[in-house]
């Protein structure tokens, strides 16, 4: 008989037979549950398709936050991807009951944390997309109109609706304005001159959202803000001790984004008896408030420096600041105000200067990975083709580009930069029509707006409004306003630094990663490659005019792991190796070509090479150990080059033609990048000991097809994608002749 007194220890296997360990979240003993990635994915899929108990979702959010804190405390690497996936899943359920306030109380601060990372950047518009992804399914207009005595439902409205209004969730902005009109109508009909608490006629829990919407989306004559101020004045005079209503009115007014109204709000807050941390805390989520606070302090330094809530003021002003430009701005203000400061005030300023520096350091480390998630989940991956075209007011002439892909190799880099790249571009262009803005293509690029520089042809800087630079995420377009008009016929230089993202699967096109396993040792290798004819396009690698009609010269340099080989359209002019495991390979300047034909490939390559009868260097690359299967393709390349040269009496215009056989590729064929054909190894290589005639013919036709494109498609290029059938038609037709020229004895079989 088994009793509790004689139970021995239960052995715990080192490896679980099942990855799931089922416990009750309501049990008396509490412990953190950290799922592996696959298990977490399954849980989130279940939440989105069927839902799970509320306690599970609450625990899930709390545990993910705790996991990040634990890793950070231990100095271990961690990712925010899991938490972002959790936040955007827990309310995306088929549930029909009232949303949970308890869950919102956990989720909303985390959502605001991510919003604060973007608010002072060019990518601030992604905040609204982020909130809509998280709450778009749970939001419904009836949250504003249905009345209930359920505490949970009312508490959720009180907490959530102001966020929904600020971030444009569903029709929340329109509903907020409509509710405020109702409040105005009710209070006018009751002839109220002493506030809104007794005449509003709408539930208290929705008023914060209504007041915020009235201020943020005010009409042209600002009548909403004026009425809010009048309501506030009346409320304070009559009900000074019942502060819930006048606090809601103050918080609502803090949503305004108009400079003159923000000055009024700041002046009001400075004289308010409420806690400075509370009133100035309302301004943290206002994207225009930090500049308003900065300018107010510059204009009234004595008033602000002597304010007892100075720390709260600076906290609100610098809450979203995490750029070098903002640091410089704060330091200049600090230096200017030093004569007016006591030692205690100096310490407060030092505290927030240190915070800005910490924010910059943190952002440099973590933002690339966070922004990858944002772009992967909130922005279109690409269009095929992109539909919106550039206005055509500028013509690119030369791109000077430097790319640094972070892939495993001899080069050392932070784990947080894995599968990203750094980019710098200097685009020289000529103005065709007078314009006050530069409109170019950029997609999935994290742009440092402080790095954007415009120069004339004498290298003199021209003023641009970096804070007004904007992205059109749906069309991959970047707009840069210029302070003065650019005149037709003049040339300019546009310089931009940025981060980009390498797709971890080679099926989206754009900048991709491939991986291989070496036959001689079985180890894994990594290859950085590009494919721009469709999908994200070359605008996902550099800022450019990414339409086939915009031809320009390219001068490429690639910083890469020193143990790897870098290839591009043109032949390299040399490689400089540094002591940190990195090298820089530079390439000859290309003739004018379309941006979609740009190609870069970096990996552990070996090659076979030959010189065609017409004097062109042809090379066939593959990952080390596989190059021996490219001999047949090399012959086809050389033969097809000679045929096209002789038949059309037009020499191949580049100094070399390379082909790289990749272990994976964006499709099963190949891409005719000028001077650098990239394709799937199955389409470009054969094992002559085992190949049959059909396979040999397929490889020959693919290789010859891409060689023909070097003339029809690359040298002569379509004006727009609707004409691509011409490219393909010529390549398909002449590839047969290129193949029979190479193997004349096979004419009867082809």
Dump pLDDT digits (tens) for 495-522: 999 999 999 876 667 888 887 777 666 7
Given a contact cutoff of 8 angstroms between Cβ atoms, the answer to whether 477 and 441 are in contact is: yes
* SS3 state at 746: helix
Residue 362 forms part of a structural domain: yes
Active site residue 460: no
Helices (H) and strands (E) in the chain, counts: 22, 22
Q: Out of 138, 156, 178, pick the residue that ends a domain.
A: 138
- Using CA atoms, how far apart are residues 667 and 680, in angstroms rounded to an integer? 7
Residues 498 and 536 in one domain: yes
Residue 386 forms part of a structural domain: no
Residues 435 and 497 in one domain: yes
Tell me, rounded to whole angstroms, the distance of Cα 235 from its chain centroid. 45
Structural domain for 518, as ranges: 392-601
Q: Out of 601, 636, 669, pick the residue that ends a domain.
A: 601
Residue 403 forms part of a structural domain: yes
- Using CA atoms, how far apart are residues 151 and 207, in angstroms rounded to an integer? 16
Residue 566 main-chain phi, psi, to 5 deg: -110, 135
- Using CA atoms, how far apart are residues 203 and 191, in angstroms rounded to an integer? 20
**Rg of the chain, C-alpha, whole Å:** 31
Rounded to an integer, the average pLDDT of 356-374 is: 96
Task: Give me the CATH number covering residue 533.
Answer: 2.60.40.1730
For 503-632, strand residue ranges (E) read 510-517, 524-531, 551-561, 565-568, 572-577, 582-587, 593-594, 600-603, 605-611, 617-623
- Count other Cβ atoms within 10 Å, centred on residue 166: 24
Here the tokens at position 522 are 């079985």
Give the model's pLDDT for residue 736: 87
Give the model's pLDDT for residue 5: 39
**Non-local CB neighbours of 684 within 8 Å, separated by 6+ positions:** 620, 630, 633, 659, 661, 670, 677, 699, 702, 703
Dump pLDDT digits (tens) for 127-161: 999 999 999 999 999 999 988 888 999 999 999 99
Among 128-132, 257-261, 326-330, 414-418, the range scoring the smallest mean pLDDT is: 414-418
Residues 587 and 631 in one domain: no
Given a contact cutoff of 8 angstroms between Cβ atoms, the answer to whether 565 and 619 are in contact is: no
Residues 212 and 122 in one domain: no
Residues 364 and 506 in one domain: no
Give the model's pLDDT for residue 155: 94
Residues 558 and 648 in one domain: no
Residues 168 and 219 in one domain: yes
- Using CA atoms, how far apart are residues 94 and 91, in angstroms rounded to an integer? 9
Residue 456 forms part of a structural domain: yes
Residue 17 forms part of a structural domain: no
Residues 161 and 98 in one domain: no
Choose the most confident range, by mean pLDDT, from 2-16, 351-365, 736-750: 351-365
Residue 7 forms part of a structural domain: no
For 322-464, strand residue ranges (E) read 394-405, 420-431, 435-441, 446-447, 453-456, 461-462
Indicate the annotated binding residues for Zn(2+): 705, 709, 728
Q: Out of 223, 255, 287, pick the residue that ends a domain.
A: 255
* Residues of the chain above pLDDT 90, percent: 75
* Residues of the chain above pLDDT 70, percent: 94
Residues 167 and 313 in one domain: no
Residues 415 and 294 in one domain: no
Given a contact cutoff of 8 angstroms between Cβ atoms, the answer to whether 533 and 596 are in contact is: yes
Given a contact cutoff of 8 angstroms between Cβ atoms, the answer to whether 221 and 176 are in contact is: no
| Number of structural domains found in the chain | 5
Global pTM exceeds 0.85: yes
Rounded to an integer, the average pLDDT of 399-405 is: 98
Give the model's pLDDT for residue 436: 96
Task: Give me the CATH number covering residue 644.
Answer: 1.10.390.10
Give the model's pLDDT for residue 747: 72
Residues 227 and 272 in one domain: no
Cis peptide before 488 (omega within 30 of 0): no
Q: At what angle do helices 207-216 and 243-253 cross, to 10 degrees?
A: 30
- Confidence check: pLDDT of 534 > 90: no
Indicate the annotated binding residues: 705, 709, 728
| Residue 81 host element (H or E) | helix 81-87
Residue 285 forms part of a structural domain: yes
Residues 595 and 619 in one domain: no
Give the model's pLDDT for residue 34: 84
Given a contact cutoff of 8 angstroms between Cβ atoms, the answer to whether 242 and 197 are in contact is: yes
**Among residues 64, 235, 627, 706, which one is catalytic?**
706
> Strand pairing of 477-486 and 446-447?
unpaired
Dump pLDDT digits (tens) for 18-63: 455 544 555 544 578 888 889 999 999 999 999 999 999 999 999 9
Here the tokens at position 81 are 């991807």
**Non-local CB neighbours of 274 within 8 Å, separated by 6+ positions:** 243, 247, 250
Rounded to an integer, the average pLDDT of 347-370 is: 96
Residue 6 forms part of a structural domain: no
- Confidence check: pLDDT of 214 > 80: yes
């Amino acid at each position: 008989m088994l009793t509790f007194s004689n139970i021995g220890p239960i052995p715990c296997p080192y490896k679980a037979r099942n990855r799931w360990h089922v416990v009750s979240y309501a049990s008396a003993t509490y412990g953190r549950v950290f799922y592996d990635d696959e298990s977490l994915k399954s849980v989130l899929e279940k939440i989105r398709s069927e839902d799970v108990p509320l306690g599970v979702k609450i625990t899930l959010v709390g545990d993910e936050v705790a996991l990040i804190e634990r890793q950070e405390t231990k100095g271990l690497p961690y990712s925010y991807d899991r938490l972002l996936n959790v936040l955007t899943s827990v309310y995306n359920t088929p549930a029909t009951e009232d949303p949970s306030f308890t869950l919102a109380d956990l989720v909303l601060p985390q959502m605001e944390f991510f919003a604060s990372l973007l608010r002072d950047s060019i990518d601030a518009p992604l905040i609204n997309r982020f909130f809509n992804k998280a709450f778009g399914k749970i939001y419904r207009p009836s949250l504003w109109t249905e009345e209930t005595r359920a505490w949970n439902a009312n508490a959720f409205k009180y907490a959530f609706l102001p966020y929904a209004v600020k971030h444009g969730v569903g029709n929340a902005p329109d509903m907020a304005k409509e509710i405020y009109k109702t409040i105005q109508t009710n209070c006018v009909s009751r002839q109220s001159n002493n506030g809104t608490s007794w005449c509003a006629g709408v539930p208290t829990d929705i008023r914060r959202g209504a007041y915020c919407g009235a201020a943020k989306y005010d009409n042209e004559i600002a009548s909403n803000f004026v009425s809010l101020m009048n309501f506030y004045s009346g409320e304070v005079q009559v009900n000074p001790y019942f502060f819930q209503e006048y606090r809601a009115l103050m918080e609502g007014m803090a949503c305004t984004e108009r400079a003159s109204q923000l000055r009024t709000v700041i002046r009001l807050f400075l004289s308010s008896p409420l806690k400075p941390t509370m009133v100035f805390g309302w301004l943290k989520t206002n994207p225009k408030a930090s500049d308003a606070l900065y300018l107010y302090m510059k204009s009234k330094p004595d008033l602000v420096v002597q304010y007892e809530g100075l720390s709260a003021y600076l906290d609100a002003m610098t809450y979203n600041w995490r750029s070098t430009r903002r640091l410089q701005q704060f330091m200049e203000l600090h230096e200017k105000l030093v004569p007016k400061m006591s030692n205690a005030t100096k310490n407060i300023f030092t505290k927030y200067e240190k915070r800005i520096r910490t924010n910059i350091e943190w952002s440099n480390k973590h933002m690339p990975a966070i922004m990858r998630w944002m772009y992967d989940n909130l922005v279109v991956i690409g269009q095929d083709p992109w539909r919106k075209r550039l206005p055509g007011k500028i013509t690119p002439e030369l791109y000077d580009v430097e790319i640094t892909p972070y892939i495993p190799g001899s080069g050392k880099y932070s784990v947080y930069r894995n599968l990203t790249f750094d980019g710098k571009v200097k685009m020289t262009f000529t103005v065709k029509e007078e314009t006050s803005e530069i409109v170019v293509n950029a997609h999935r690029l994290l742009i440092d707006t402080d790095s954007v520089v415009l120069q004339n042809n004498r290298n003199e800087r021209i003023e641009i409004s970096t804070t007004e630079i904007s992205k059109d995420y749906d069309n991959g377009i970047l707009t840069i306003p210029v302070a003065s008009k650019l005149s037709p016929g003049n040339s300019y230089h546009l310089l931009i630094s940025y981060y980009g993202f390498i797709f971890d699967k080679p099926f989206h096109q754009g900048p991709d990663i491939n991986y291989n396993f070496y036959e001689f040792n079985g180890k894994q290798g990594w290859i950085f490659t590009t494919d721009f004819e469709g999908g994200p396009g070359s605008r996902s690698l550099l800022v450019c005019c990414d339409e086939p009609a915009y031809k320009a010269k390219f001068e490429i340099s690639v910083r890469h792991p020193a143990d790897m080989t870098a290839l591009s359209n043109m032949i390299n002019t040399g490689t400089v190796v540094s002591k940190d495991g990195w090298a820089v390979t530079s390439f000859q300047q290309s003739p004018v070509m379309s941006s979609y034909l740009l190609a870069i490939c970096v990996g552990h390559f070996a090659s076979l090479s030959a010189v065609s009868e017409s004097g062109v260097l042809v090379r066939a690359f593959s990952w080390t150990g596989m190059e021996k299967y490219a001999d047949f393709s090399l012959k086809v390349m050389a033969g097809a080059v000679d045929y096209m040269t002789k038949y059309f009496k037009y020499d191949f215009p580049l100094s070399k033609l390379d082909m790289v056989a990749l272990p994976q590729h964006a499709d099963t064929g190949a891409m005719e990048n000028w001077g650098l054909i990239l394709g799937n190894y199955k389409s470009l290589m054969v094992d002559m000991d085992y190949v049959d005639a059909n396979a040999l013919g397929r490889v020959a036709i693919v290789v010859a097809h891409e060689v023909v494109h070097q003339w029809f498609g690359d040298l002569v290029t379509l004006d727009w994608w609707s004409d691509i059938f011409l490219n393909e038609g010529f390549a398909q037709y002449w590839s047969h002749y290129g193949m029979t020229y190479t193997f004349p004895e096979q004419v009867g079989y082809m």
